[in-house]
Amino acid sequence: MLMKLAGGRIHDPANGRDGAVGDLFVRDGRIVADPGPDPGPGATPDEVHDLSGRVVMAGAIDIHSHIAGGKVNIARLLMAEEHRAAAEEPCGCGVGIATPSTHATGCRYARMGYTAAFEPAMLPSNARHAHLEMADIPLIDTGGYLVLGNDDLLLELLASGAGEDAVADYVGFMLNATRSLAVKAVNPGGINAFKYNQRRLDVDENGPFHAITPRRILTALAGAVQRLGIPHPLHLHGFNLGVPGNVEATLDSIAAVDGLRLHLTHVQFHAYGAEGDRKFSSSAARVAEAVNRRPNISVDVGQIMFGQTVTASADTMAQMSNTGLAHPKKWVMMDIECDAGCGVVPFRYRDKAFVNALQWAIGLELFLLIEDPWRIFLTTDHPNGAPFTSYPELIRLLMDRDYRLARMAELHPALPEHTILGSLTREYSLGEIATMTRAAPARILGLSDRGHLGPGAVADITVYTDRPDRRAMFEKPDLVFKDGRLIVRDGVVVSFLQGRTHVVEPAYDAKIESWMARRFDERMGQRLTHFRIAEEEIRGGTGLIRHACQPGPF
């Protein structure tokens, strides 16, 4: 079947289109080249959508959103009041605002024009659960980033003086076995140290058991990622999350990888200074400057928005220190399987609270000061900073300075003297939004046939009415296509389909497996063969999309 999307204003940064009017043709779920003036047999469109005057973009992609896995389910359990009270649409989607059910997650993403979202904290031991859960998120593609860097086996390997090859083999095995798309490091070394009752660990301090420094873990993982040729750079949840003055550790991490590619996630939580009478200040400008200067660095923001949410993180060391701020006053910590941990703390960001207001401003400063929209990504670290459903509001804040200033004026009165936000005049263009939410995420994850609208691309397409109120525009696209099928019309899900699971399968030396098998038998109480997730387990065997790795020297 040939479908024609006629006369829309196409924002397709990957292919250099920024609002030029044109047609798109879709056949068998993919974009095909313009069949030309003489269509020939079979090229007459079976279906035509007249999009004149409307804005057309690829389906949006969220590179960092906690949508599945053990901590998300704990968060759902903990948010019982919200889930009991929350009104839901009577469609059997399930409940939840900060931690929606899998169905609500898929529906809400699709209704906002998103066609993929990635779970950024999949623990090795919990990967099977995360995949089972992701398979129940309808409409969008998913995938997981594997959390390494506090796993006792890796730390043991590093402490034994194993070379870079062995580390890369270990990482390569783990990515394959757990069906992951990328590697994430969460407070490397810190979660492990917390299990020995250490409540902080400096970047150059040896861990309590394995005698390895966080810096060594960080560089080893960044190196392994590059050596294996994994498209996405090491996805780093840095040190001292949320602690005033942590900007030094953030800048130090950038320096530590010494030119290797590194993605700093929810960098808003890592851009804090300790200046001023409140000992809490914005260091967004310093972070932005470092990012602007170094093309090997990318970030996502983890913007906070005001209201009730729940923070869910593998970083038990940081989360334990936040438990005093829990709202409501309950929280869960877990030490997990010699892998990592999990800390779930409900939280309410208040617009009249100075610290929260400044966090909000720091996030926006980062968005506006980091120049290259290919290296900064729109996230709220859902649900940590805010539920992902607040993206349209965030987009309006980025695109509309007057709105931003008006909003700022409603916040804590001391805010203006602590932020340069008022002086920042930048307004994101539609093309930049398309870059940040489509083209760039696809590129940095190595999803070569997503995030753009060129021939061969998967026909994940979102169509908007161009409204001056950008929030209204991005909240409710007119049409959303997934794999060439119309799934949303005027904000209503009109057909269900299942997404797919994106993975990488880097090559590694299988020698590492006998070492690992022994360790698994002796320590994990699990056979390595059972740890490995079979292809048939991913969406019943039909779900995998593999992305190429380009191993090379570094």
The site for another protein (CB under 8 A) is made up of 68, 70, 72-74, 76-78, 80, 83-84, 88-96, 99-104, 107, 123, 125-126, 128-129, 132-133, 136, 152, 194-197, 209, 326, 330-338, 344, 492-494, 496, 522-527, 529-530, 533-534, 537
Residue (213 or 283) nearer to another protein, CB: 213
Residue recorded with tokens 């392994």 = 224
Residue recorded with tokens 């987009």 = 395
Instruction: Report whether 479 contacts 115 (CB < 8 A).
Output: no
Quote the least distance from Cβ 403 to another protein, whole Å.
30
DSSP labels for 7-30? EEEEEEGGGTEEEEEEEEEEETTE
Quote the least distance from Cβ 356 to another protein, whole Å.
22
**Closest C-alpha among 268, 232, 277, 217 to residue 247:** 268
In whole angstroms, what is the distance from residue 254 CA to residue 298 CA?
Answer: 10
Quote the least distance from Cβ 233 to another protein, whole Å.
28
SS3 195: coil
Residue (277 or 522) nearer to another protein, CB: 522
529 Cβ contact list (under 8 Å, min separation 6): none
Query: In degrees to the nearest 10, what's the CA dihedral of 164, 165, 171, 173?
Result: -170
Quote the least distance from Cβ 102 to another protein, whole Å.
5
Residue (67 or 249) nearer to another protein, CB: 67
Quote the least distance from Cβ 88 to another protein, whole Å.
6
Residue (84 or 293) nearer to another protein, CB: 84
Quote the least distance from Cβ 309 to another protein, whole Å.
15
Sign of CA dihedral 298, 61, 302, 238: negative
Instruction: Report whether 208 contacts 286 (CB < 8 A).
Output: no
Residue (492 or 507) nearer to another protein, CB: 492
Quote the least distance from Cβ 138 to another protein, whole Å.
9
Whole-Å CA distances, 21 to 38, 50, 76, 104, 334: 20, 12, 44, 34, 53
Residue (96 or 143) nearer to another protein, CB: 96
Quote the least distance from Cβ 76 to another protein, whole Å.
5
In whole angstroms, what is the distance from residue 244 CA to residue 242 CA?
Answer: 7
In whole angstroms, what is the distance from residue 149 CA to residue 185 CA?
Answer: 5
Cα 121 to the chain's mean position, in Å? 9
In whole angstroms, what is the distance from residue 171 CA to residue 512 CA?
Answer: 10
Residue (320 or 424) nearer to another protein, CB: 320
**Closest C-alpha among 15, 63, 27, 23 to residue 376:** 63
Residue (331 or 428) nearer to another protein, CB: 331
Quote the least distance from Cβ 332 to another protein, whole Å.
4
Residue (230 or 524) nearer to another protein, CB: 524
Which amino acid would we find at residue 23? D
Instruction: List helix spans (H) across 383-496.
Output: 391-399, 401-409, 430-434, 440-445, 470-475
Residue (120 or 223) nearer to another protein, CB: 120
Quote the least distance from Cβ 198 to another protein, whole Å.
9
Quote the least distance from Cβ 14 to another protein, whole Å.
30
Q: How many CA atoms lie within 13 A of 60 on its CB side?
A: 32
- How many C-beta atoms lie closer than 10 Å to residue 545's C-beta? 17
Quote the least distance from Cβ 107 to another protein, whole Å.
5
Query: In degrees to the nearest 10, what's the CA dihedral of 220, 224, 227, 231?
Result: -130
Quote the least distance from Cβ 109 to another protein, whole Å.
12
Parallel, antiparallel or unpaired: strands 544-547 and 501-504: parallel
**Closest C-alpha among 266, 268, 366 to residue 313:** 266
49: which strand partners? 5
**Closest C-alpha among 138, 149, 144 to residue 64:** 144
Residue (297 or 493) nearer to another protein, CB: 493
In whole angstroms, what is the distance from residue 494 CA to residue 473 CA?
Answer: 19
Instruction: Report whether 432 contacts 377 (CB < 8 A).
Output: no
Residue (33 or 87) nearer to another protein, CB: 87
Tell me the longest C-alpha to C-alpha distance in the chain: 74
Residue (125 or 283) nearer to another protein, CB: 125
